[in-house]
Amino acid sequence: MKYQVKETKDLTENEIEHILQLWDISAWNSMKSAYFRTFFKDSEFHFIMDTYENILALMRVNFDFTLQIAGTDYSFAEAVGLVSAHKKKGYGAALVRHFKENVIQRNLDTIGFCHSDLRPFYEKCSIEILHDKAKMIKESIGSEWVNSEDDDILIFNASKETKELLNQLSAQNNAYLITKE
């Protein structure tokens, strides 16, 4: 097994195909490589590969992620799209360990999100979890602000101040996902 990081522009056609296959999101299944590269231009991909360069597990980092908290914008690297090609083989956990080391070395404020049923996996990977704090993040859907569908915020790497800021989120102190048009 080998850990690898690639920018979107450096992905091969086969890797893009395999990523889309593993993610299995119906709206993206027919996405062509050129559009994929444009759509995920502010991303970086982290992999665990086998000796034949097959993807065993992958995660995407979204660098276009900003939360507005109490009127101030905070940008984070957002870890998303973690998927393993084979369940219960340890590939996902291995990727999370390598990924965490990578973002710590690069000093990237990196967070992710999960549903409560995934807590045991992230706890096993020694990822700090801010329980039920993701629900305090509002996303703009049409003209309404709705609560995030996720339960928890995952801390892959963040300063003490950032953790405190995220931990203070509540029904009275929401964060707002800022999307660029």
| Contact indicator for 151, 115 with CB cutoff of 8 Å | yes
Q: How far is CA 81 from CA 23, 30, 40, 117, 143, in A?
A: 7, 17, 12, 16, 27
What percent of the chain has pLDDT above 70? 99
The residue-averaged pLDDT of 129-135 equals: 97
Look up residue 77 and give its amino acid. Answer: A
* pLDDT tens column, 55-88: 999 999 999 999 999 999 999 999 999 999 999 9
pLDDT of the residue at 58: 98
Pairing mode, strands 72-84 and 110-114:
parallel
**Residue 12 CB coordination number (10 Å):** 11
112: three-class secondary structure by DSSP:
strand
pLDDT tens digits for range 18-47: 999 999 999 998 999 999 999 999 999 999
Residue that wins the pLDDT comparison between 130 and 141: 130
Question: Amino acid identity, residue 114?
Answer: C
Domain containing 104: what range?
A: 2-178
Helices (H), the chain: 13-23, 33-39, 91-105, 119-124, 160-167
Strand partners of residue 60? 45, 80
Count of positions (residues) in the chain = 181
Q: Write the CATH number for 33.
A: 3.40.630.30
Are 69 and 169 a contacting pair, CB within 8 Å? yes
User: In total, how many domains does the chain have?
Assistant: 1
Distance (Å, whole) CA 125 – CA 98: 10
Picking from 93, 80, 74, the residue whose alpha carbon sits closest to that of residue 42 is 80
